[in-house]
């Protein structure tokens, strides 16, 4: 939407009296929670209600002219202006979603709608529109998309792990034993699904306890192949979900690419508490010429990096050795309590 004042000035009272007939009209528009805007017949903006200025934090009149477009997200401005011009030329209703910069510098998604007002001869005399905050809805949609992608990725990983469990079990393992391992894998998988019931009830859990539950399916003939050592620390619900995602991904990758490909391969996980910091080390051994995943920037790697960086507030350092992966990170104990 092109944004300049055709009157050529930034006087708010003049703009308002030009667009609205009574002071009562103006007061109503100022108390509405939505952003209200208006343009002349050519689509040139000449009014924003007070909510616009409160949300954007800009000075009254400063968004006249091309200044209006400066509060749009750079990735949305050209698309929004192009669509607006098409609507002005055709006389069709305007509707589009874009991001507007708030007074604190953050961008929020808005649903912008505009409709033309017609004179007695049918010609367009003005445009009136609103901007409605839909940022929460857009974030929820994004989260659902991530969960959907993650679920597809998780299903592929489950099949890979089950196939490996079947291979490792060999002919001497009974169907009941194999079925028990697969059931345990299913229980562990519930932990890593965001929003799962188990994740909501895990407050007060401990890190070693969480790992013991997660890694139970990876034992063979009664022997654990993922060995847990070191200090235990309490973890909150949010941290438990994030850690479960990370740990499940590391274990799956060890099955597909690292030491758990081999019957005698193992992983040692060591937790060391130093004051308010917690050091985590994942060390694989027993692999034969282990190689890192070919898709170094695939969804699984991206998921790990996202969880570690944004939810745990740290970074995971990885080194690939002939016997498998060595991964380390240091986390704030306070961060793990949430």
Q: What is the pLDDT of residues 167-226, one digit of tens each?
A: 655 555 566 555 655 655 565 556 545 554 444 444 447 899 889 888 887 776 556 899
CA 256 – CA 260 distance, rounded (Å) = 8
Residue carrying the six token digits 């949010």: 238
**Looking at domain 12-133, what is its CATH homologous superfamily?**
PAS domain (3.30.450.20)
When pLDDT is cut at 50, 70 and 90, the band that residue 91 belongs to is: very high
Q: Which among 144, 54, 143 has a CA at the least distance from the CA of 100?
A: 54
Is it the case that residue 29 has pLDDT exceeding 90? no
Give the phi and the psi of residue 12 in degrees, each rounded to 5: -65, -45
**What's the CATH fold of domain 143-336?**
Heat Shock Protein 90 (3.30.565)
- Domain spans of the chain, in order of start: 12-133, 143-336
The SS3 call for residue 121 is coil
Please answer whether residues 157 and 165 qualify as being in contact, where contact means their C-beta atoms are separated by less than 8 angstroms: no
Please answer whether residues 225 and 283 qualify as being in contact, where contact means their C-beta atoms are separated by less than 8 angstroms: no
Provide the token pair at 309: 């960086």
Residue carrying the six token digits 């401990």: 206
Q: Hey, which of 75-79, 160-164, 213-217, 297-301 has the most confident mean pLDDT? A: 75-79
Is it the case that residue 30 has pLDDT exceeding 80? no
pTM of the model: 0.47
So what's the pLDDT on residue 21?
47
Provide the token pair at 161: 């792990």
Q: What angle do CA 55, 58, 63 make, to 5 degrees?
A: 110
Q: Is 102 exposed, middle or buried (0-12, 13-18, 19+ CB in 10 A)?
A: middle
Mean pLDDT (whole number) for 244-263: 84
The residue with greater pLDDT, 150 or 205, is 205
Paired residues of 9 in beta bridges: none
């Amino acid at each position: 939407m092109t944004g300049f004042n055709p009157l050529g000035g930034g006087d708010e009272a003049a703009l308002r009296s030009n667009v609205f007939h009574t002071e009562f009209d103006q007061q109503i528009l100022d108390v509405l929670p939505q952003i209200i805007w208006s343009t002349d017949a050519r689509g040139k903006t000449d009014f924003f209600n007070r909510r616009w200025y409160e949300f954007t934090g800009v000075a009254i009149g400063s968004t006249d002219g091309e200044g209006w477009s400066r509060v749009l997200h750079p990735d949305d401005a050209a698309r929004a202006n192009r669509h607006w011009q098409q609507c002005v030329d055709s006389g069709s209703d305007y509707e589009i979603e874009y991001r507007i910069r708030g007074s604190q510098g953050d961008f929020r998604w808005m649903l912008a709608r505009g409709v033309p007002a017609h004179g007695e001869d049918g010609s367009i005399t003005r445009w009136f529109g609103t901007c409605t905050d839909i940022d929460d809805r857009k974030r929820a949609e994004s989260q659902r998309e991530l969960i959907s992608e993650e679920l597809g990725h998780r299903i592929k990983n489950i099949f890979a792990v089950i196939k490996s469990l079947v291979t490792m079990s060999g002919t001497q393992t009974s169907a009941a034993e194999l079925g028990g391992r697969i059931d345990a894998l299913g229980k562990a998988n519930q932990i890593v699904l965001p929003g799962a019931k188990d994740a909501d009830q895990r407050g007060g859990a401990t890190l070693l306890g969480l790992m013991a539950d997660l890694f139970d399916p990876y034992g063979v003939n009664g022997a654990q192949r993922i060995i847990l050592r070191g200090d235990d620390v309490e973890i909150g619900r949010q941290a438990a979900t994030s850690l479960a995602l990370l740990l499940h991904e590391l274990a799956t990758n060890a099955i597909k690419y690292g030491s758990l490909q081999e019957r005698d391969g193992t992983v040692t996980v060591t937790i060391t508490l130093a004051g308010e910091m917690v050091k985590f080390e994942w060390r694989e051994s027993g692999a034969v010429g282990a190689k890192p995943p070919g898709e170094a920037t695939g969804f699984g790697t991206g998921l790990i990096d996202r969880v570690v960086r944004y939810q745990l507030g740290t970074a995971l350092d990885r080194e690939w050795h002939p016997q498998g992966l060595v991964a380390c990170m240091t986390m704030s104990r306070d961060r793990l309590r949430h």
